[in-house]
Amino acid sequence: MKNCATAIVFALLLPAIASAEEVPEGFADVSTVVPGLVVDMRYFGSDNFTGAPVEGYESPVCLLSRPATEALARIQAELAGFALGLKVFDCYRPARAVAEFVRWSKDEDDLKMKAQYYPTLEKGELFPQGYIAERSGHSRGSTVDLTLVYLPFQSELPMGTGYDFFSERSWPDNPDQPSQARANRLLLQSVMVRHGFKPYEYEWWHFTLADEPYPETYFDFPVR
């Protein structure tokens, strides 16, 4: 009986995983709210560090919580005054996709994307160094991976590395970058922070809404 009670208490302390298949009402298709948003959902296709479409991405759609979506709309409006805009690489990420990343990280024979995404690291280092994790803030629905683009041509501002390049060179404050890349990273970070997002110390493209509406819930509905 004691063990049963302990198990119940432990389960209640764990973050919840919401496994419904339908998109919750608290989420929005960001492109329908943010005019001119460039959407390049990397995990829907094979242009990502796994080299293949990722489980859970059934459509190249950027879904986020409504507060995060509304914040991005305000950012896009501010950037438009400077002929700039946002380009998203990943938004809400199903828990099943995160589980696939973990499985991929343990497959030591699959190295086809090493040269492009993690040339200076062994695949087994990605997990302990925090580039791959068992749970992702993306699954809570208020984390987004993005960059800046010039309008109207939608060309990316140089940031020193590409998206998902696993290296210290991708750390936002890494000093070993050209001055223009450092300035562009600072611009992206400053506008995101000004509108309520928190940066991530290891990835210049990664931001989480500070006042996220689902801080303890990891969703698993597919992106569709």
* Catalytic residue annotation: 203
Torsion, Cα 155 223 126 100, to 10 degrees, reads: -140
What is the phi/psi pair of residue 182, to 5°?
-65, -40
Q: How far is CA 40 from CA 20, 28, 54, in A?
A: 25, 17, 14
Helices 179-194 and 66-80 cross at an angle (nearest 10°) of 130
Q: Which two tokens stand for residue 194?
A: 């000004």
Distance (Å, whole) CA 221 – CA 25: 12
Distance (Å, whole) CA 221 – CA 121: 32
Strand partners, 145: 90, 206
Give every CB contact of residue 12 below 8 A, 6+ residues apart in sequence.
none
Instruction: Give 158: exposed, middle or buried? Use CB within 10 Å, 0-12, 13-18, 19+.
Output: middle
Binding site as annotated, residues for Zn(2+):
138, 145, 206
